[in-house]
Structure 1
Amino acid sequence: MNNVDLLKQIRRILVLAKTSANYSKDPFDQERLAEIVKIATDILTDGVPEHGQALQAGFTEDAGYITPKVDVRILIKNEAGEILFVQDRRTGEWSLPGGFAEIGASPVENALRETYEETGLIVQIERLLGIFDTDKRRDIPQLAQYYKIFFVAKIQSGSFKKNIETKQAKYFSIDDLPELSKQRTTREQLIELESLDEGSVFIE
């Protein structure tokens, strides 16, 4: 069994146990379910040592009914058709502007906020471009499941501002992409979106 399949099976055990614990009123059930969670997380750490501890920490922080997480991204092009990317300050890798959606804001509001925080740009959303499900991928082990929502936008005003998340923003051609942060943006996603007919939306 490869790491991706192992992660998915462990995730299913964790989801069932944590969700059941959230609704159970029986203290003995709570105790047994907590033990199941501990066993599953121990297997995760031992079975996928290169990712296990970080993935375990991120997953076990969730409480209640476990659901997929939402990530929003903005695709902006210049007149030459090049795409705007931001460079992560910590890793040096590049991605489309965006990030996790926060509670209390709509997908569009989250996308606008993330774009401003990472680029200093005020943009206008033009339309939905695509929705990807990270469970369809097999290249990077990810314990959590993410729905990645992509929007097309155009710049209204602003310029890049120094911030704690990104080092710079720069346009690249789809044929000459920089080193991408694959957990944020992949070449395959970009090619899929670029191949869409005008006005079409990709939904996975």
Structure 2
Amino acid sequence: MENSWLANAKKLQAIAETGLVYAEDKYDIERYSEISDIALKLLSDLGNTSVDVITGLISEGKKGYITPKVDVRGAVFQDNKVLLVQEKSDGLWTLPGGFADVGLSPAENIEKEIFEEAGIAVTVPYLYAVRHKAKGEYTPDILDFYKLFFLCKAQGEGELKAGLETMGAEYFSLDNLPALSRGRTVESDIHNAWRFHSNVNQKTYFD
């Protein structure tokens, strides 16, 4: 779980940016701008990186009312093993997925991500968890995320193959998982998927 300094700095920055969208009085605009600058400096100090880098990350979702970004992940099981992909960015493993794209439903997004990252077609029968990244065991993040986890079913006998952003795709037993890319997936995401796979009558987990 992220510390309170990071959580509060992110909230402060979101309030400031939302205020700038709706403020009309020049003094309010000046105050919100100052608050935004303070929040960016706090995030820069906490992330041990430059204000310019933080500003670039924040600017991706800066227009309008500030809301969490959406990350979709899919769990596919075969012979009691789970499908993981190896990220080129850090060499670590994760459930396939990524940012949700505009114009696609959540299910369509994860179908696309799994095909692009692992080379197989899937159907998406169940949503098994909705998590707030800041409240989980994930690597802390400057941005705020909701993470949607789907239980998926492979179609046909497609051969696994890495995509443009991945360097590997393999099935792993749950008691022998590789090093995980913990900003994307943690062990409990995989074990929650297995519990749901074993009993789809259980309720979807959410924070």
TM-score normalised according to structure 1 size: 0.89
Once residues 187 and 55 of structure 1 are traced to their aligned partners in structure 2, the CA distance between those partners, rounded to angstroms, is 28
In structure 1, what is the equivalent of residue 37 of structure 2?
38
SS class of match (1:181): coil
CA 1:73–1:52 in structure 2 vs 1: closer, same or farther (change >3 Å)? farther
Once residues 179 and 51 of structure 1 are traced to their aligned partners in structure 2, the CA distance between those partners, rounded to angstroms, is 29
- Matched to 2:13, the amino acid is L
Q: Is the 8 A contact 1:4 1:138 kept in 2?
A: no
| Residue deviations 1:18-57 (CA, integer Å, cap 9, x gap) | 1111111223322221121112111221243169765553
Once residues 145 and 127 of structure 1 are traced to their aligned partners in structure 2, the CA distance between those partners, rounded to angstroms, is 24
2:201 is the counterpart of 1:203: no
**RMSD after superposition:** 2.2
CA 1:161–1:170 in structure 2 vs 1: closer, same or farther (change >3 Å)? closer
**Unpaired runs of at least 5, structure 1:** none
In structure 1, what is the equivalent of residue 126 of structure 2?
127
Structure 1 position 116, deviation (Å): 1.0
CA 1:163–1:140 in structure 2 vs 1: closer, same or farther (change >3 Å)? closer
Q: Is the 8 A contact 2:85 2:162 kept in 1?
A: no
**Unpaired runs of at least 5, structure 2:** none
In structure 2, what is the equivalent of residue 107 of structure 1?
106
2:16 is the counterpart of 1:17: yes
2:77 is the counterpart of 1:77: yes
Which deviates more, 144-153 or 52-61? 52-61
Once residues 13 and 59 of structure 2 are traced to their aligned partners in structure 1, the CA distance between those partners, rounded to angstroms, is 9
Once residues 93 and 52 of structure 2 are traced to their aligned partners in structure 1, the CA distance between those partners, rounded to angstroms, is 25
Q: How many residue pairs are counted as aligned between the two chains?
A: 202
In structure 2, what is the equivalent of residue 183 of structure 1?
183
SS class of match (2:142): coil
Which deviates more, 178-187 or 143-152? 143-152
In structure 2, what is the equivalent of residue 27 of structure 1?
26
| Residue deviations 1:58-103 (CA, integer Å, cap 9, x gap) | 124322111111111111011x210000011231100011111111
Q: Is the 8 A contact 1:84 1:170 kept in 2?
A: yes
